[in-house]
Protein backbone atom coordinates (compact mmCIF):
# COMPACT_ATOMS: atom_id res chain seq x y z
CA UNK A 1 0.00 0.00 0.00
CA UNK A 2 1.32 3.42 -0.94
CA UNK A 3 2.04 5.75 1.99
CA UNK A 4 2.37 9.56 1.77
CA UNK A 5 3.50 11.64 4.76
CA UNK A 6 2.33 15.25 4.98
CA UNK A 7 4.20 16.62 8.00
CA UNK A 8 7.83 16.05 7.09
CA UNK A 9 10.23 18.76 8.14
CA UNK A 10 13.49 20.18 6.80
CA UNK A 11 15.63 23.26 7.27
CA UNK A 12 18.44 24.98 5.38
CA UNK A 13 21.76 26.20 6.83
CA UNK A 14 20.66 29.79 6.17
CA UNK A 15 17.48 29.40 8.23
CA UNK A 16 18.58 27.04 10.98
CA UNK A 17 19.07 29.88 13.46
CA UNK A 18 15.36 30.63 13.57
CA UNK A 19 14.76 27.32 15.34
CA UNK A 20 16.91 28.13 18.36
CA UNK A 21 13.91 28.93 20.56
CA UNK A 22 12.37 25.56 19.74
CA UNK A 23 15.68 23.88 20.52
CA UNK A 24 15.35 24.80 24.20
CA UNK A 25 12.22 22.62 24.42
CA UNK A 26 13.97 19.35 23.58
CA UNK A 27 16.60 17.45 25.51
CA UNK A 28 19.98 18.64 24.14
CA UNK A 29 20.94 15.31 22.57
CA UNK A 30 17.50 14.97 20.97
CA UNK A 31 17.74 18.49 19.51
CA UNK A 32 21.23 17.85 18.10
CA UNK A 33 20.06 14.69 16.37
CA UNK A 34 16.88 16.31 15.04
CA UNK A 35 18.88 19.31 13.77
CA UNK A 36 21.25 17.02 11.90
CA UNK A 37 18.39 15.18 10.24
CA UNK A 38 16.53 18.39 9.35
CA UNK A 39 19.49 19.49 7.24
CA UNK A 40 19.57 16.20 5.32
CA UNK A 41 17.06 16.37 2.51
CA UNK A 42 17.83 13.33 0.40
CA UNK A 43 20.55 11.14 1.90
CA UNK A 44 19.69 9.45 5.15
CA UNK A 45 16.09 10.60 4.75
CA UNK A 46 15.52 8.53 1.62
CA UNK A 47 17.16 5.50 3.21
CA UNK A 48 14.85 5.80 6.23
CA UNK A 49 11.84 6.19 3.96
CA UNK A 50 12.78 3.00 2.14
CA UNK A 51 13.32 1.09 5.38
CA UNK A 52 10.01 2.30 6.84
CA UNK A 53 7.96 1.80 3.68
CA UNK A 54 7.14 5.49 3.23
CA UNK A 55 6.76 6.20 -0.47
CA UNK A 56 6.55 9.98 -0.45
CA UNK A 57 7.09 12.93 1.87
CA UNK A 58 5.46 16.33 1.39
CA UNK A 59 8.32 18.48 2.70
CA UNK A 60 7.87 21.70 4.66
CA UNK A 61 10.17 24.18 6.37
CA UNK A 62 10.61 23.47 10.05
CA UNK A 63 9.01 25.66 12.72
CA UNK A 64 9.16 28.61 13.21
CA UNK A 65 10.61 29.06 9.74
CA UNK A 66 10.53 32.38 7.95
CA UNK A 67 7.78 33.65 10.25
CA UNK A 68 10.42 34.32 12.90
CA UNK A 69 11.98 36.99 10.66
CA UNK A 70 11.09 40.52 11.75
CA UNK A 71 11.93 42.30 8.48
CA UNK A 72 9.29 41.88 5.78
CA UNK A 73 11.67 42.40 2.85
CA UNK A 74 14.09 39.80 4.17
CA UNK A 75 11.22 37.36 4.67
CA UNK A 76 10.05 37.82 1.07
CA UNK A 77 13.53 37.04 -0.26
CA UNK A 78 13.97 34.08 2.07
CA UNK A 79 10.64 32.54 1.10
CA UNK A 80 11.46 32.72 -2.60
CA UNK A 81 14.90 31.20 -2.04
CA UNK A 82 13.74 28.29 0.10
CA UNK A 83 10.82 27.53 -2.22
CA UNK A 84 13.17 27.48 -5.20
CA UNK A 85 15.48 25.11 -3.32
CA UNK A 86 12.59 22.83 -2.37
CA UNK A 87 11.31 22.80 -5.93
CA UNK A 88 14.74 21.63 -7.06
CA UNK A 89 14.70 18.75 -4.57
CA UNK A 90 11.24 17.73 -5.74
CA UNK A 91 12.28 17.94 -9.39
CA UNK A 92 15.22 15.63 -8.68
CA UNK A 93 13.02 13.10 -6.85
CA UNK A 94 9.47 13.57 -8.19
CA UNK A 95 8.32 10.11 -7.07
CA UNK A 96 9.56 10.59 -3.50
CA UNK A 97 8.96 14.23 -2.60
CA UNK A 98 6.39 16.98 -2.97
CA UNK A 99 6.41 20.33 -1.20
CA UNK A 100 4.46 22.86 0.84
CA UNK A 101 5.62 26.43 0.21
CA UNK A 102 6.89 28.81 2.87
CA UNK A 103 5.10 32.18 2.84
CA UNK A 104 6.37 35.63 3.89
CA UNK A 105 3.20 36.52 5.81
CA UNK A 106 4.92 39.65 7.13
CA UNK A 107 3.83 41.12 3.76
CA UNK A 108 0.36 39.71 2.98
CA UNK A 109 0.26 40.77 -0.69
CA UNK A 110 3.75 39.37 -1.30
CA UNK A 111 2.73 36.17 0.48
CA UNK A 112 -0.26 35.75 -1.83
CA UNK A 113 1.95 36.34 -4.86
CA UNK A 114 4.53 33.84 -3.58
CA UNK A 115 1.83 31.25 -3.00
CA UNK A 116 0.65 31.61 -6.57
CA UNK A 117 4.20 31.45 -7.93
CA UNK A 118 5.00 28.43 -5.78
CA UNK A 119 1.90 26.53 -6.91
CA UNK A 120 1.73 27.53 -10.57
CA UNK A 121 5.45 27.73 -11.41
CA UNK A 122 7.14 25.48 -8.84
CA UNK A 123 4.49 22.81 -8.44
CA UNK A 124 3.96 23.21 -4.69
CA UNK A 125 0.87 21.55 -3.23
CA UNK A 126 -0.13 24.36 -0.88
CA UNK A 127 1.71 26.10 1.94
CA UNK A 128 2.61 25.44 5.55
CA UNK A 129 2.23 28.20 8.15
CA UNK A 130 4.01 27.95 11.50
CA UNK A 131 1.50 29.43 13.95
CA UNK A 132 1.55 33.23 14.18
CA UNK A 133 3.67 35.71 12.22
CA UNK A 134 5.07 38.29 14.65
CA UNK A 135 1.80 38.03 16.60
CA UNK A 136 -0.48 38.11 13.54
CA UNK A 137 -2.84 35.15 13.15
CA UNK A 138 -4.43 33.84 10.00
CA UNK A 139 -7.80 35.43 10.78
CA UNK A 140 -6.25 38.90 10.49
CA UNK A 141 -8.22 40.88 7.86
CA UNK A 142 -4.97 41.80 6.11
CA UNK A 143 -4.38 38.12 5.39
CA UNK A 144 -7.67 37.63 3.54
CA UNK A 145 -5.67 38.14 0.35
CA UNK A 146 -3.74 34.94 1.12
CA UNK A 147 -6.93 32.98 1.78
CA UNK A 148 -8.44 34.35 -1.43
CA UNK A 149 -5.41 33.14 -3.39
CA UNK A 150 -5.37 29.73 -1.69
CA UNK A 151 -9.08 29.25 -2.38
CA UNK A 152 -8.64 30.32 -5.98
CA UNK A 153 -5.77 27.90 -6.46
CA UNK A 154 -7.70 25.17 -4.61
CA UNK A 155 -4.76 24.34 -2.35
CA UNK A 156 -4.73 23.87 1.43
CA UNK A 157 -2.82 25.71 4.11
CA UNK A 158 -1.21 23.49 6.72
CA UNK A 159 -1.22 25.14 10.15
CA UNK A 160 1.72 23.92 12.24
CA UNK A 161 2.57 24.92 15.82
CA UNK A 162 5.33 27.18 17.05
CA UNK A 163 6.09 29.02 20.27
CA UNK A 164 3.37 31.48 21.22
CA UNK A 165 3.64 35.23 21.51
CA UNK A 166 3.59 35.10 25.30
CA UNK A 167 3.38 32.64 28.14
CA UNK A 168 -0.17 31.79 29.28
CA UNK A 169 -0.49 32.49 33.00
CA UNK A 170 -1.51 28.92 33.77
CA UNK A 171 1.79 27.65 32.35
CA UNK A 172 4.06 30.20 34.05
CA UNK A 173 6.56 28.42 36.25
CA UNK A 174 6.10 25.17 34.33
CA UNK A 175 8.37 25.29 31.26
CA UNK A 176 7.95 21.54 30.87
CA UNK A 177 4.43 22.27 29.54
CA UNK A 178 5.71 24.55 26.75
CA UNK A 179 5.98 22.90 23.35
CA UNK A 180 4.54 19.91 21.56
CA UNK A 181 3.71 18.00 24.74
CA UNK A 182 0.97 20.51 25.65
CA UNK A 183 1.00 24.25 24.83
CA UNK A 184 1.52 23.98 21.08
CA UNK A 185 -1.59 21.85 20.60
CA UNK A 186 -3.70 24.20 22.72
CA UNK A 187 -2.44 27.24 20.80
CA UNK A 188 -2.99 25.64 17.39
CA UNK A 189 -6.52 24.47 18.17
CA UNK A 190 -7.31 28.00 19.38
CA UNK A 191 -5.83 29.41 16.15
CA UNK A 192 -8.20 27.26 14.13
CA UNK A 193 -11.17 28.48 16.19
CA UNK A 194 -10.08 32.07 15.52
CA UNK A 195 -10.51 31.27 11.82
CA UNK A 196 -14.00 29.90 12.42
CA UNK A 197 -15.27 32.77 14.58
CA UNK A 198 -13.24 35.34 12.65
CA UNK A 199 -15.28 34.54 9.54
CA UNK A 200 -12.51 33.17 7.33
CA UNK A 201 -14.48 30.08 6.33
CA UNK A 202 -17.65 32.08 5.85
CA UNK A 203 -15.74 34.37 3.49
CA UNK A 204 -14.11 31.39 1.72
CA UNK A 205 -16.48 28.44 2.22
CA UNK A 206 -14.31 25.95 0.32
CA UNK A 207 -11.00 26.93 1.93
CA UNK A 208 -9.05 23.96 3.27
CA UNK A 209 -6.92 23.87 6.40
CA UNK A 210 -4.72 21.00 7.56
CA UNK A 211 -3.82 20.37 11.20
CA UNK A 212 -1.35 17.76 12.36
CA UNK A 213 -1.19 15.70 15.55
CA UNK A 214 -4.62 14.11 15.03
CA UNK A 215 -6.31 17.51 14.85
CA UNK A 216 -4.76 19.11 17.97
CA UNK A 217 -7.63 17.78 20.10
CA UNK A 218 -10.47 19.36 18.12
CA UNK A 219 -12.22 16.15 16.92
CA UNK A 220 -12.90 15.18 20.52
CA UNK A 221 -14.80 18.29 21.67
CA UNK A 222 -17.28 18.87 18.84
CA UNK A 223 -20.46 18.11 20.77
CA UNK A 224 -19.31 20.26 23.68
CA UNK A 225 -18.44 23.20 21.42
CA UNK A 226 -21.85 23.11 19.71
CA UNK A 227 -23.68 22.78 22.99
CA UNK A 228 -21.89 25.73 24.55
CA UNK A 229 -22.14 27.86 21.40
CA UNK A 230 -25.91 27.51 21.69
CA UNK A 231 -25.64 28.64 25.32
CA UNK A 232 -22.99 31.37 25.22
CA UNK A 233 -23.27 35.08 24.49
CA UNK A 234 -22.32 35.33 20.80
CA UNK A 235 -20.94 38.88 21.14
CA UNK A 236 -22.43 39.79 17.77
CA UNK A 237 -20.90 36.84 15.91
CA UNK A 238 -23.14 34.49 13.94
CA UNK A 239 -21.83 31.56 11.95
CA UNK A 240 -23.14 30.91 8.47
CA UNK A 241 -22.95 27.16 9.08
CA UNK A 242 -24.63 27.47 12.46
CA UNK A 243 -22.35 25.42 14.71
CA UNK A 244 -18.56 25.33 15.03
CA UNK A 245 -18.48 21.56 14.42
CA UNK A 246 -19.72 22.16 10.87
CA UNK A 247 -16.48 23.98 10.04
CA UNK A 248 -14.36 21.25 11.58
CA UNK A 249 -16.13 18.66 9.45
CA UNK A 250 -16.16 20.75 6.27
CA UNK A 251 -13.00 22.89 6.14
CA UNK A 252 -10.59 20.94 8.35
CA UNK A 253 -8.39 18.02 7.38
CA UNK A 254 -6.12 16.40 9.93
CA UNK A 255 -3.03 14.23 9.81
CA UNK A 256 -1.86 11.49 12.13
CA UNK A 257 1.55 13.13 12.54
CA UNK A 258 3.06 12.60 15.97
CA UNK A 259 0.18 10.45 17.26
CA UNK A 260 0.62 6.70 16.83
CA UNK A 261 -2.33 5.58 18.95
CA UNK A 262 -5.48 3.76 17.94
CA UNK A 263 -7.85 5.44 20.41
CA UNK A 264 -7.57 9.02 19.06
CA UNK A 265 -7.55 7.73 15.48
CA UNK A 266 -10.82 5.86 16.00
CA UNK A 267 -12.35 8.90 17.68
CA UNK A 268 -11.24 11.11 14.77
CA UNK A 269 -12.74 8.67 12.28
CA UNK A 270 -16.07 8.81 14.08
CA UNK A 271 -15.95 12.60 14.40
CA UNK A 272 -14.70 13.61 10.95
CA UNK A 273 -15.05 10.61 8.67
CA UNK A 274 -12.23 8.85 6.80
CA UNK A 275 -12.08 11.39 3.95
CA UNK A 276 -10.68 14.07 6.28
CA UNK A 277 -7.77 12.12 7.83
CA UNK A 278 -4.34 11.86 6.20
CA UNK A 279 -1.02 10.34 7.20
CA UNK A 280 2.06 12.08 8.57
CA UNK A 281 5.15 11.00 10.50
CA UNK A 282 6.41 14.30 12.05
CA UNK A 283 9.93 13.46 10.87
CA UNK A 284 12.51 13.86 12.34
CA UNK A 285 10.83 14.44 15.70
CA UNK A 286 9.06 11.08 15.65
CA UNK A 287 10.32 7.74 14.38
CA UNK A 288 9.30 7.11 10.79
CA UNK A 289 9.14 3.33 11.14
CA UNK A 290 6.91 3.59 14.21
CA UNK A 291 4.49 5.79 12.28
CA UNK A 292 4.27 3.52 9.23
CA UNK A 293 3.87 0.43 11.42
CA UNK A 294 0.99 2.18 13.17
CA UNK A 295 -0.56 2.95 9.80
CA UNK A 296 -0.28 -0.68 8.71
CA UNK A 297 -1.68 -2.17 11.92
CA UNK A 298 -4.28 0.35 13.16
CA UNK A 299 -7.68 -1.33 13.77
CA UNK A 300 -9.49 0.29 10.83
CA UNK A 301 -10.99 -1.09 7.64
CA UNK A 302 -8.71 -1.56 4.67
CA UNK A 303 -10.77 0.98 2.73
CA UNK A 304 -10.22 3.60 5.44
CA UNK A 305 -6.54 2.68 5.74
CA UNK A 306 -6.03 3.31 2.04
CA UNK A 307 -7.75 6.70 2.30
CA UNK A 308 -5.54 7.73 5.23
CA UNK A 309 -2.37 6.30 3.71
CA UNK A 310 -2.53 7.86 0.27
CA UNK A 311 -5.92 8.32 -1.40
CA UNK A 312 -6.91 11.46 0.53
CA UNK A 313 -3.50 13.05 -0.07
CA UNK A 314 -3.67 12.26 -3.76
CA UNK A 315 -7.11 13.87 -3.98
CA UNK A 316 -6.47 16.88 -1.76
CA UNK A 317 -3.00 17.70 -3.10
CA UNK A 318 -3.30 16.41 -6.65
CA UNK A 319 -0.47 13.93 -6.21
Annotated catalytic residues are 282
Q: Tally Cβ neighbours within 10 Å of residue 29.
A: 8
Q: How far apart are alpha carbons 237 and 209 in whole angstroms?
A: 21
Contact 161, 185 (CB under 8 A): yes
Who's near 278: CB < 8 A, 6+ residues apart? Answer: 4, 6, 210, 253, 254, 255, 256, 308, 312, 313, 316
Q: How far apart are alpha carbons 311 and 305 in whole angstroms?
A: 9
The single-letter DSSP state of residue 237 is -
Q: In what order do the strands lie in the sheet with 127-130?
A: 127-130, 157-160, 209-211, 252-255, 277-278
Amino acid sequence: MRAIGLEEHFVTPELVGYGASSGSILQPDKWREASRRLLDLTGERLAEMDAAGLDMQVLSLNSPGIQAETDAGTAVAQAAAVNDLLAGVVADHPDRFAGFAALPLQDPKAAAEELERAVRELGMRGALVNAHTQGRYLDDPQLRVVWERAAGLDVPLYLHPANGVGMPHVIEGHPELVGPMWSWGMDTASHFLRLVFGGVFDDFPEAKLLLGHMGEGLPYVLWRMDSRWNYHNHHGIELARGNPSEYVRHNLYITTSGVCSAAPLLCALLALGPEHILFGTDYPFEDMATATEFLRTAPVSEADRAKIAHLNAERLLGL
